[in-house]
């Protein structure tokens, strides 16, 4: 049993000798060379060792029974032991224990004499170095939250559709459509259990939903599209692999990459698949184990950028059988359940996450050698936060928990914060009324407000209750209190790459900027559909002539909200147009 690797998420039993606590006074072990350890933090390991930041580590137990493990810091006499409680049934099922070491060397984890994992000490600070922009004081116009109102389900999955309605579903019950102007709802039953599915918009405005729920940690192979105009679902060919917690990413050619997740047996799926419009193409040359709901984006070079949650960031080439290449390491270590957005083509912000940080960092993929850099830190540490790109190009952060365990609703952060990409400064805004942490969602609406819903509807690994929030709130950002909004009198229904188009407005000389924001498709602290870009324009009689994006890699084909902004950065009501 020496050097035995613990894999899978099924029940296993170790002999009593291996589960016995190690002697803290014994000499450090040297694992046999012929039995390499399991990759530290591997997503398919039953017991995982994860580096956090500073000298902090966490041990995760996905087994249904308790286990006593021991750790030691390589090259020192420092060692200790921890008893891991059984994994609780939940979403996802695990328990965890955090510990801090004194030395900065690698940490090895054992059960008895069996080496489970080795994790390097990343040596990254838990907060960025000094000299970065400070958190700005809240302005007089801090925005405004509506009172909470009833929602037909726990809004774990939210999608803005091409007709301006919102499609929503939770862990239980049918999906619903919600009309922002009237708050009316209507049920649209799905053909399979779509909880914990991946989803993104297709070029024609349909929503592609891939995979779903068999039970916690076990995913379906099913896929379907939802058509807004007919309010109907249509099943499409099933994927090769079941997936639970996968990510969808729409490509420049309109195909959709689906990646990661757990299959029908609870095993992590290593093979990405691409929906071609007719069937699925497996990327058998791009095998890799990734965390649930990886934060992936279409980069300007046409490749897929994996921003996290793991510290190493990567490119995935989707041509042929696929391949991976390294981009670089983030400043902060694991940012699990942090939120990442592409706030401009090729520019990514990653904020919060981990256990738990207020830090944020950015990377510019347009550079010859992209590298992560610190930006300003939020006022509050958060995980399970939602980051939403606004029509102004700023990024709004809502909700989340400041706790250091998986999810602590009692430590919810209600203060909204907004990040200015031009300065790197965060500004604290108004606070909402409802604790929204794990399973909360936020979605930009065409009127410029942000819908904030969900939270709960899952058993907690900590055992702390997570009340199912069948309600929602609307946030009006500060720009809605800065005076009259520009108007849009006419727009084309569709625009073409590289061509100009006319937008009618009663105040053409007052328009300072034009932005294009993709329709959102959000779940689990990540919007899989969100994209933002500025558009060039010139004055014209009765309006402006606007230049459409030049490349589908900068703005994938599909439906977007078009906003006009005046000199005070006040946006118009967005008009939904198709980019093709």
Identify the three-state secondary structure at position 236. strand
- The predicted model gives 259-288 an average pLDDT of 96
Strand order in the sheet with 207-210: 198-201, 207-210, 223-227, 232-236
User: Residue 189: which residues within 8 A CB-CB, separation 6 or more?
Assistant: 174, 175, 233
User: Residue 116: which residues within 8 A CB-CB, separation 6 or more?
Assistant: 5, 6, 37, 38, 45, 47, 49, 69, 109, 110
Encode pLDDT of 476-519 as tens digits. Answer: 999 999 999 999 999 999 999 999 999 999 999 999 999 999 99
Q: What is the pLDDT of residue 50?
A: 85
- The predicted model gives 536-541 an average pLDDT of 96
Q: What is the pLDDT of residue 458?
A: 74
DSSP per-residue letters across 10-43: S-----HHHHSPP-TTSPPP---TTSPPBPTT-T
Q: How confident is the model at residue 140 (pLDDT cuts 50, 70, 90)?
A: low
Residue 27 reports pLDDT greater than 90: no
Mean pLDDT is lowest, of 132-141, 184-193, 276-285, 549-558, for 132-141
Residue 469 reports pLDDT greater than 60: yes
Q: How large a percentage of the chain has pLDDT more than 90?
A: 77
Q: How confident is the model at residue 457 (pLDDT cuts 50, 70, 90)?
A: confident
Strands 494-495, 575-579: pairing kind:
parallel
Alpha helices in 22-170 (DSSP H): none
Task: Give the C-alpha separation, 104 to 575, whole Å.
Answer: 54
Encode pLDDT of 289-348 as tens digits. Answer: 999 999 999 999 999 999 999 999 999 999 999 999 999 999 998 899 999 999 999 999
Token pair in block for residue 449: 């407000």
Q: Is the sign of the CA dihedral 460, 463, 466, 467 positive or negative?
A: positive
Q: What is the pLDDT of residue 295?
A: 98
Q: What is the pLDDT of residue 35?
A: 30
Residue 2 reports pLDDT greater than 70: no
Cα→Cα distances 81→52, 73, 111, 112, 365, Å: 18, 12, 10, 10, 42
- The predicted model gives 117-126 an average pLDDT of 85
Tell which residue, 463, 573, 579, 580, has the closest CA to residue 181. 573
One fold for 190-329 and 494-579: no
Encode pLDDT of 166-175 as tens digits. Answer: 999 999 999 9
Whether domain 190-329 has CATH 2.120.10.80: the reply is yes
Task: Give the C-alpha separation, 284 to 321, whole Å.
Answer: 5
* Residue 75 near residue 56, CB atoms below 8 Å: no
Token pair in block for residue 193: 């259990």
- As a CATH number, domain 494-579 is 2.60.40.10
Q: What is the pLDDT of residue 3?
A: 32
Q: How confident is the model at residue 51 (pLDDT cuts 50, 70, 90)?
A: confident
Residue 40 reports pLDDT greater than 90: no
Q: What average pLDDT is seen over the chain?
A: 89
Encode pLDDT of 354-411 as tens digits. Answer: 888 999 999 999 999 999 999 999 999 999 999 999 999 999 999 999 988 888 899 9
Domain ranges of the chain: 16-119, 190-329, 494-579
Identify the three-state secondary structure at position 187. strand
Q: How large a percentage of the chain has pLDDT more than 70?
A: 88
For the ranges 53-57, 138-142, 433-437, the maximum mean pLDDT occurs at 433-437
Token pair in block for residue 93: 């099922």
The HSE-up count of residue 133 (CA atoms within 13 Å, CB side) is 20
- As a CATH number, domain 16-119 is 2.60.40
Q: What is the pLDDT of residue 216?
A: 87
Encode pLDDT of 417-439 as tens digits. Answer: 999 999 999 999 999 999 999 99
Task: Give the C-alpha separation, 394 to 519, whole Å.
Answer: 16
Token pair in block for residue 322: 């696929």
Cα→Cα distances 37→2, 30, 185, 267, 286, Å: 10, 11, 53, 19, 23
pTM of the entire structure?
A: 0.89
């Amino acid at each position: 049993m020496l050097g035995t690797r613990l894999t899978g998420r099924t029940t296993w039993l170790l002999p009593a000798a291996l589960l016995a606590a190690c002697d803290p006074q014994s000499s450090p072990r040297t694992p046999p060379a012929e039995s390499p350890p399991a990759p530290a933090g591997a997503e398919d390991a039953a017991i995982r060792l994860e580096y956090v930041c500073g000298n902090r580590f966490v041990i995760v137990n996905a087994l249904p029974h308790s286990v006593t493990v021991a750790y030691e810091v390589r090259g020192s006499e420092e060692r200790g032991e921890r008893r891991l409680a059984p994994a609780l049934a939940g979403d996802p099922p695990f328990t965890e224990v955090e510990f801090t070491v004194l030395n900065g060397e690698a940490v090895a984890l054992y059960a008895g004499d069996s080496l489970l994992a080795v994790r390097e000490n990343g040596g990254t600070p838990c907060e960025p170095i000094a000299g970065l922009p400070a958190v700005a004081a809240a302005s007089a116009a801090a925005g405004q939250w509506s009172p909470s109102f009833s929602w037909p389900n726990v809004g774990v999955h939210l999608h803005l559709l091409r007709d301006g309605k919102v499609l929503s579903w939770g862990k239980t019950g049918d999906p619903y459509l919600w009309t922002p102007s009237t708050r009316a709802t209507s049920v649209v039953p799905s053909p399979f259990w779509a909880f914990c599915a991946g989803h993104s918009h297709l070029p024609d405005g349909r929503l592609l939903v891939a995979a779903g729920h068999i039970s916690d940690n076990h995913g379906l192979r099913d896929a379907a599209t939802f058509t807004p105009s007919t309010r109907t679902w249509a099943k499409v060919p099933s994927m090769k692999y079941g997936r639970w917690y996968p990510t969808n990413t729409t490509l420049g050619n309109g195909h959709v990459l689906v990646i990661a997740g757990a299959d029908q047996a609870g095993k992590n799926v290593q093979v990405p698949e691409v929906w071609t419009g007719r069937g699925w193409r497996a990327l058998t040359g791009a095998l890799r184990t990734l965390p649930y709901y990886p934060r992936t984006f279409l980069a300007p070079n046409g490749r897929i950028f994996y921003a996290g949650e793991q510290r190493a960031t990567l490119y995935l080439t989707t041509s042929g059988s696929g391949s991976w290449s390294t981009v670089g390491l983030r400043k902060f270590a694991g940012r699990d359940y942090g939120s990442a957005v592409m706030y401009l083509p090729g520019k990514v912000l990653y904020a919060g996450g981990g256990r738990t940080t207020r830090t944020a960092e950015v990377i510019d993929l347009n550079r010859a050698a992209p590298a992560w850099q610190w930006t300003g830190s939020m006022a509050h540490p958060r995980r399970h936060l939602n980051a939403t790109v606004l029509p102004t190009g700023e990024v709004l952060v809502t909700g989340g928990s400041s706790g250091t365990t998986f999810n602590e609703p009692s430590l919810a952060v209600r203060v909204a914060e907004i990040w200015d990409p031009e300065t790197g400064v965060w500004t604290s805004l108004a606070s909402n009324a409802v604790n929204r942490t794990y399973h909360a969602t936020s979605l930009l609406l065409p009127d410029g407000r942000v819908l904030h819903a969900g939270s709960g509807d899952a058993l907690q690994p900590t055992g702390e209750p997570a009340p199912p929030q069948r309600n929602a709130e609307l946030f009006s950002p500060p720009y809605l209190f800065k005076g009259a909004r520009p108007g849009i009198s006419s727009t084309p229904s569709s625009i073409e790459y590289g061509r100009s188009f006319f937008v009618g407005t009663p105040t053409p000389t007052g328009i300072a900027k034009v932005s294009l924001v993709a329709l959102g498709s959000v779940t689990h602290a990540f919007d899989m559909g969100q994209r933002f870009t500025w558009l060039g324009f010139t004055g014209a009689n009765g309006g402006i002539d606007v230049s459409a994006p030049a490349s589908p890699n900068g703005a994938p084909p599909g439906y977007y909200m078009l906003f006009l902004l005046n000199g005070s950065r006040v946006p118009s009501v967005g008009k939904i147009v198709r980019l093709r």
